[in-house]
Amino acid sequence: MRTITGVLLMFYYVPTADHAYASTQYIIHDVDYGWFLLGYHFWGSSAMVICVFAHMSQVFLWGAYKKPRELIWLVGLALFAIVMGFGFTGYLLPWDQRAYWATTVGVEIMDKMPLLGDFMSRFLKGGPTPGQMTLSRFFVIHVMVLPAALIGLAGLHLFLFRCAGPAGPFRGTPVELKAKTDYFFPRQIWKDVVGMAVVFACISALAFWEPVVLLEEATPDPGDYHPEPEWYFLFLFQHLRLKMFSGEFGQFLGSMLLPGLLGAVLVLLPFFDRNPERNIFKRPFALIGWVVLIVSILLFTVSAIINREYLD
């Protein structure tokens, strides 16, 4: 769906600094059902993030990343990164204030990466500050590079899954499992279709009742706008407000070291967690780690929302 709506948007969208905003406004206000397609695309990206996150949690809690499925887990992490990448690059495309500032801050954070940071941020911006080159680059990444990577890696993900077979529930003897095992068609397909219909209905409802509204066109002067990223990046944004992450070193700690460590732990997870036990209630560290992560993400997200009120 994301691809279909994305391609449809491209019929009208122009990725230039002087027309991106106007063309998006045109999609929203003039093109028949443009508001719906854009809304669907926009809310779909949230749905995608939720689904991917839920899926990762399930895999984690069910211990399905363990041998022999290490590679599937790694490819899955890459897919997660790609989905977040879609969200980050897509956000700039309408070229409104929200877009501009989310990108400005996001890229400044990337700049803090050791060694490669300056190069990476200039590479993405296509210059010292965000402008036309940034828009072109984000556009190409959003509609060409990431979709290609997504298709390739999703294929690999499924292929590896077919090789290793599903992990299944962690309880039950082989005999019980056999009795519950079913073919992919028709029952699994049926469940999937129902699931998809529910997701489709949710996204459509959101697109309908909460259509995308653009702020003013992007300029390096924020006016009265208080920059804030999309909700799924909010917790990252909020935790940088903490005292502990102040100053140059704190900043590095909060924006690079901590997320980097988390990433590294996730990547290495199937390799140091070699215990074949899959039942989550017998893996206290994994359970605690997961709960702590979720709770802190929720806390930061909620506190970011509460903080909004103090700003006006």
Partner 1 sequence: MQPQLKSKVRCADREVGEVAKVIMDPLSHEVSHLVVSMNGAGERQVSMGAVQTVTDDLVQLRSSSSEVMALPPFKREDYVTLHEVEIPGLERHIHVTPGEVLVPFPDLERNVKRRKFFANLTYVTGLFIGLPLAFPVLKYLMKPMYAPLDNRWLKIGNIGKVKVDDAGTQFKYKRNVKEAYMPEAEIEKNVWLVKATPPVLEKVYQGKDMEFRDATGKAIWTNKKDMPYLAFSGKCPHLGCGYKWRKHKILGQVFLCPCHLSIYDASGKVLEGPAPRPLDLLPIQVSPSGEVQIIDMEFKAGTKSQTRIV
Q: Which residues bind partner 1 (CB under 8 A)?
A: 16-18, 101, 104-105, 108-109, 111-112, 118-119, 122-123, 125-129, 131-133, 219-222, 226-228, 237, 240-243, 245-248, 250-251, 255, 307, 311
Amino acid at 33: Y
13 sits near ligand HEM (criterion: CB under 6 A): yes
The residue within the footprint of ligand HEM, chosen from 2, 239, 278, 283 (CB under 6 A), is 2
The upper half-sphere exposure of residue 99, i.e. CA atoms within 13 Å in the direction of its Cβ, equals 27
- DSSP-assigned letter for residue 217: B
Q: Could you count the other beta carbons within 10 Å of the beta carbon of residue 246?
A: 13
Closest separation in Å from C-beta 198 to partner 1: 36
10 sits near ligand HEM (criterion: CB under 6 A): yes
Instruction: Choose the one of partner 1, ligand HEM, none that binds residue 220, judging by a C-beta under 5 to 8 angstroms depending on kind.
Output: partner 1
Instruction: Choose the one of ligand HEM, partner 1, none that binds residue 48, judging by a C-beta under 5 to 8 angstroms depending on kind.
Output: ligand HEM
Closest separation in Å from C-beta 305 to partner 1: 14
Taking the C-alpha atoms of residue 40 and residue 55, their distance in angstroms, rounded to an integer, is: 21
The residue within the footprint of ligand HEM, chosen from 76, 94, 106, 254 (CB under 6 A), is 94
Taking the C-alpha atoms of residue 100 and residue 209, their distance in angstroms, rounded to an integer, is: 25
Instruction: Choose the one of partner 1, ligand HEM, none that binds residue 129, judging by a C-beta under 5 to 8 angstroms depending on kind.
Output: partner 1
Which one of the spans 81-89, 118-126, 203-211, 262-270 is the region binding ligand HEM (CB under 6 A)? 81-89
48 sits near ligand HEM (criterion: CB under 6 A): yes
Region label for 267, one of left (φ > 0), alpha (ψ between -120 and 50) or beta (otherwise): alpha
Q: Is 197 helix (H, G, I), strand (E, B) or coil?
A: helix
Instruction: Choose the one of partner 1, ligand HEM, none that binds residue 7, judging by a C-beta under 5 to 8 angstroms depending on kind.
Output: ligand HEM
CA torsion angle 7 9 15 21 (round to 10): -170
Closest separation in Å from C-beta 79 to ligand HEM: 10
Characterize 129-163 residue by residue with b for buried, 16 or more Cβ atoms within 10 angstroms of its Cβ, and e for exposed: ebeeebbebbbebbbeebbebbeebeebbeebbee
Residue number, 13 or 235, with CB nearest to ligand HEM: 13
Taking the C-alpha atoms of residue 286 and residue 289, their distance in angstroms, rounded to an integer, is: 5
> Residue 197 is encoded by which pair of tokens?
């219909």
| Interface ranges with ligand HEM (CB under 6 A) | 2-3, 6-7, 9-10, 13, 24, 38, 41-42, 45, 48, 83, 86-87, 90-91, 93-94, 142-143, 147, 212
